[in-house]
């Protein structure tokens, strides 16, 4: 145990040990709500370094962990080799360079599978649905009731709350009807809809034969 403690607090592992302490404190703050995991991502692009696809904090944490492991293991091996003087100092410098390279390569290897858990694009927002055509799934839609299905850009189907203006009663919407989402009410968290007929769409083939 003493051997590993001396290695972790000696050169070059101490640099990575200090960084690892900072990383652990940061993730403890994230766990208790004192910080955000992606709070340092503004204007930082790690794709050129092969570390893109995950939050910067995740990439840095992985690099620090890989570098610390490499430096700690190397320091223990150098200590057991019995090197002294200039030979020991030269081995430490080489180990530092190797650990930095291992930190980068190790993080790259770990980032690739983790990137699948962090999609590049955020999910669709409610505003993205405005202008979309939905399918009514309730028996009626009025000023206080109604649901519909609408397809997101990625092909996923979302169920949204919809409402129809009272004065549009002559164009009642029922289950299976197509409707246009034309506005969103933030307070009520629902979309205003109007009846939609594909034949009235200027881009529809039948629109020119009305």
201 or 153, greater pLDDT: 153
| Domains of the chain by residue range | 2-117, 126-209
Query: 38 pLDDT exceeds 80?
Result: no
Percent of the chain topping pLDDT 90: 42
Query: Pairing mode, if any, of strands 157-163 and 133-136?
Result: unpaired
Average pLDDT over residues 9-17: 90
| Dihedral pair phi/psi, residue 116, rounded to 5° | -65, -20
pLDDT of residue 62: 92
Average pLDDT over residues 15-25: 93
pLDDT of residue 149: 94
What are the percentages of helix, strand and coil residues in the chain, rounded to 5? 50, 15, 35
Contact 3, 76 (CB under 8 A): yes
Contact 87, 117 (CB under 8 A): no
For the stretch 171-189, pLDDT in tens is: 788 999 999 999 999 888 8
- How far is residue 32 CA from its own chain's centroid? 20
> What is the Cα gyration radius of the chain?
29
- pTM confidence score: 0.54
Residue 107: C-alpha distances to residues 30, 40, 79, 101, 205 (Å): 21, 18, 26, 10, 54
Provide CB contacts within 8 A for 43, sequence distance 6+. Answer: none
For the stretch 55-114, pLDDT in tens is: 888 889 999 999 999 999 999 999 888 888 899 899 999 999 999 999 999 999 988 888
Query: 41 pLDDT exceeds 70?
Result: no
User: Bridge-partner residues for 151, per DSSP?
Assistant: 157
Chain mean pLDDT for the chain = 82
Q: How many Å apart are CA 92 and CA 11, to the nearest integer?
A: 7
Residue carrying structure tokens 């403890």:
28
CATH of region 126-209, choose from 2.40.40.20, 2.40.50.140, 3.30.70.100, 3.20.20.150: 2.40.50.140
pLDDT of residue 209: 39
């Amino acid at each position: 145990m003493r051997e590993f403690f001396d290695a972790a607090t000696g050169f070059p592992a101490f640099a990575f040990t200090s960084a690892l302490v900072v990383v652990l404190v940061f993730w403890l703050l994230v766990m208790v709500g004192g910080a955000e995991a992606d709070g340092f991502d503004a204007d930082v692009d790690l794709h050129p370094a092969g570390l893109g696809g995950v939050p910067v904090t995740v990439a840095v944490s992985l690099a620090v962990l890989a570098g610390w492991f490499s430096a700690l293991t190397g320091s223990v091996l150098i200590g057991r080799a019995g090197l002294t003087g200039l030979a020991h100092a030269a081995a430490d410098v080489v180990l530092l360079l190797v650990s930095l390279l291992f930190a980068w390569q190790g993080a790259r290897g770990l980032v690739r599978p983790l990137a699948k858990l962090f999609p590049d694009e955020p999910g669709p927002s409610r505003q993205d649905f405005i202008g979309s055509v939905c399918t009514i799934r309730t028996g009626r839609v009025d000023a206080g009731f109604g649901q519909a299905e609408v397809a997101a850009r990625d092909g996923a189907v979302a169920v949204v709350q919809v409402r129809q203006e009272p004065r549009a009663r002559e164009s009642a919407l029922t289950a299976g009807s197509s409707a246009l989402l034309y506005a969103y009410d933030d307070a009520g968290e629902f979309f205003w809809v109007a009846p939609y007929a594909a034949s009235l769409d200027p881009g529809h083939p039948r629109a020119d034969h009305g």
